[in-house]
A and B are shown apart, each in its own frame.
Chain A
Amino acid sequence: MTPLLSVRSLTKRYGARIGCADVSFDLWPGEVLGIVGESGSGKSTLLNCLAGHQAPDAGQVLFDTRAEGPRDTVTMSEPERRMLGRTDWAFVHQHARDGLRMGVSAGGNVGERLMSVGARHYGDIRAAAADWLGRVEIDTSRIDDRPTQFSGGMQQRLQIARNLVSGPRLVFMDEPTGGLDVSVQARLLDLLRGLVRDMGLSAIVVTHDLAVVRLLAHRLMVMKDGHVVETGLTDQVLDDPQHAYTQLLVSSVLQV
């Protein structure tokens, strides 16, 4: 088996400051990798470099493409990378409004992604949109409503539907449950777990919420000051942390 994503020595600097430095890891099909660390630890920079939203200064991001096998997405042409962004990749933003078109109906938001990969039949697109609204537990009677009329949790679920409708193989998520009520978070986590399992998705989830990664991620990577300080099985890293910073992070969680 080939890793879906192989990252080698990825480095991004902002002038003299380090965004992320010398990050290497493999992500295997069906695996969810959590990246945790405090604000400014470089986790979002890393995610953006992986997803092609920012250009790294050094390193490789090898993605196992369907047609040609592993390709370095850093050196790939912009159109090729954008094509991946519409097909095999998906990006779930923390703020749903960054990942949705707020002036377009819910059905349109989901359908647009299908049209971007060539779907043209109106009936098929609408049926797929309705199917996906159902899967993310949005009543299909809301298909013609705009996201502005949705609650925060519904917007986030709509963003997920829009991202997953084209059957991606790798999903990048930036604080997917951030800013949501805990009750809404739980429902979203359950939904994401089910989708990962049923669609065999791989995902990279950036969050500062250790409870979220415990339930969602198979493996964990802990970042501090742009460096990866610890990696391992999620429950092992959280229950038996080895690095001083991870120990501090885990012991600082407030108990409910």
Chain B
Amino acid sequence: MIAVSDVSKTFTLHNQGSAVIRVMEGATLSVAPGECVALTGASGAGKSTLMRMIYGNYLAASGRIMVGETDVAQAEPREILTLRRDVLGYVSQFLRVVPRVPTLDVVAEPLLARGIDATSARTRAAELLTRLRIPETLWTLSPTTFSGGEQQRVNIARGFAHAYPALLLDEPTASLDAANRETVLTLIEEAKARGAAILGIFHDVEARARVCDREVDVTAFTPDRAA
């Protein structure tokens, strides 16, 4: 479902002496439907960078990034938008929303974007918020004022609202208490059971061991800085 082959990434800092920083070379991995693969490697090794390239948030310098039938490295913006709407979900570490929009609508939005009627979308959103223990009294408020852990759970609810065939998870269990961590791991297991291909970053070793089938160490894709 996700197939990355020989992907490289450079950053050119035009305003800092046009320094060219090579951050990744020869990145290759694949994730099959129903499989969860963990990206590992020290902080700064390029886990998030690789994930962002798969989502189309960073441009790959070379290589192929197939998600379903789409090569994200070559696709037109509108093809990536369609891919993100229907196929590829992403739970980032940060919640970015329009201020003042109620939490329930923030979570329902991916469904509304797919043309699902407002009532069904909100019902699904409510179900997820309940499972993730966001008190109903908060649903009408904007999540921008929530605590870090609450925002993280809203982000997860939003990422799981639609049953994406492919999912990218960046530290989904960070800053969660034991009960909510359990819920998130169950959501991941359910997604795997329905055939989703999942690529994740988990610093939580136990969580990784429980839900991930394989690990890919991105250190292997780090260019030799001395060269």
B58 & A239 in contact (Cβ 8 Å cutoff): yes
One of A182, A231, A243 near B14 (C-beta < 8 A): A243
**Which residues of A are in contact with B by a Cβ distance under 8 Å?**
28, 31, 182-183, 186-187, 189-190, 193, 197, 214-215, 218-219, 231-233, 235-236, 239-240, 242-244, 247-248, 251
**Of the candidates A218, A243, A244, which one forms a contact with B77 in the assembled complex, judged by CB atoms under 8 Å apart?**
A218
Segment of B96-104, B170-178, B204-212 engaged in the interface with chain A = B96-104
B113 part of interface (Cβ distance < 8 Å): yes
Chain B positions 171-200 with a Cβ under 8 Å from a chain A Cβ: none
25 CB contacts below 8 A, A to B, read A28-B78, A183-B99, A187-B100, A189-B98, A190-B100, A190-B101, A193-B98, A215-B98, A218-B77, A218-B78, A219-B77, A231-B77, A232-B59, A233-B80, A233-B81, A236-B57, A236-B59, A240-B11, A240-B52, A240-B57, A240-B59, A244-B14, A244-B15, A247-B13, A251-B15
Give the docked Cα–Cα distance between A235 and B15 (Å). Answer: 20
- What residues of B have a CB within 8 angstroms of the CB of A244 in the complex? 14-15
For A197, list chain B residues within 8 Å (CB).
112-113
User: Are the CB atoms of A190 and B98 closer together than 8 Å?
Assistant: yes
Q: Give bound CA distance, A190 to B100, whole Å.
A: 8
Task: Pick from B11, B12, B77: contact of A232, CB below 8 A.
Answer: B77
- Which residues 98-116 of B have a CB within 8 angstroms of A? 98-101, 112-113
Shortest Cβ distance from B11 into A: residue:
A240
Known: A31-B78, A183-B100, A218-B81. A240 touches B15 (CB 8 A): no
The distance from the CB of B72 to the nearest CB of chain A, in whole angstroms, is 10
CA A251 to CA B11, docked complex, whole Å:
14
Contact at A240–B58, with CB atoms within 8 Å? yes
User: Per-residue CB proximity of B36-64 to A under 8 Å, as 1/0?
Assistant: 00000000000000001000111100000
CB contact between A247 and one of B14, B57, B98, B112 (< 8 Å): that residue: B14
Q: Which residues of A contact B57 (CB under 8 A)?
A: 233, 235-236, 239-240
Whole-angstrom distance between the Cβ of A22 and the nearest chain B Cβ: 20
For the A-B complex with A236-B58, A240-B57, A242-B12 known, give 18 more contacts whose Cβ atoms are closer than 8 Å: A31-B81, A182-B99, A187-B100, A190-B98, A214-B96, A218-B78, A219-B77, A232-B59, A235-B57, A236-B56, A236-B57, A239-B52, A240-B58, A243-B14, A244-B15, A247-B15, A248-B15, A251-B15
Contacts of A183 in B (CB 8 A): 99-100
Interface residues, chain B, CB within 8 Å of chain A?
11-15, 52, 56-59, 77-78, 80-81, 96, 98-101, 112-113
Q: Which residue of chain B lies nearest to A182 when distances are taken between CB atoms in the complex? A: B99
> CB-CB < 8 A to A240: which residues of B?
11, 52, 57-59
Top 6 A-B pairs, shortest CB-CB distance: A244-B14, A186-B99, A240-B58, A233-B77, A186-B100, A190-B98
A231: which B residues are within 8 A, CB to CB? 77
Find chain A residues with CB under 8 A from B59 CB: 232, 236, 240, 242
Which of B15, B77, B96, B101 is the most central at the interface, judged by chain A CB atoms within 10 Å of its CB?
B77
Give the distance in Å from the alpha carbon of A34 to the alpha carbon of B219 in the complex.
Answer: 37
CA distance A239 to B56 in the complex (A): 11
Cα A193 to Cα B15 in complex, Å, equals 34
Contacts of A251 in B (CB 8 A): 15
User: Who on chain A is nearest to B142 by CB?
Assistant: A186
A186 with B78: CB separation less than 8 A = no
**Alpha-carbon distance between A182 and B98 when the two chains are bound, in angstroms:** 11
Q: Closest chain A residue to B97 by CB distance?
A: A215
Name the A residues within 8 Å of B101 (CB-CB): 190
Q: How far is the CB of B62 from chain A (nearest CB, A)?
A: 14
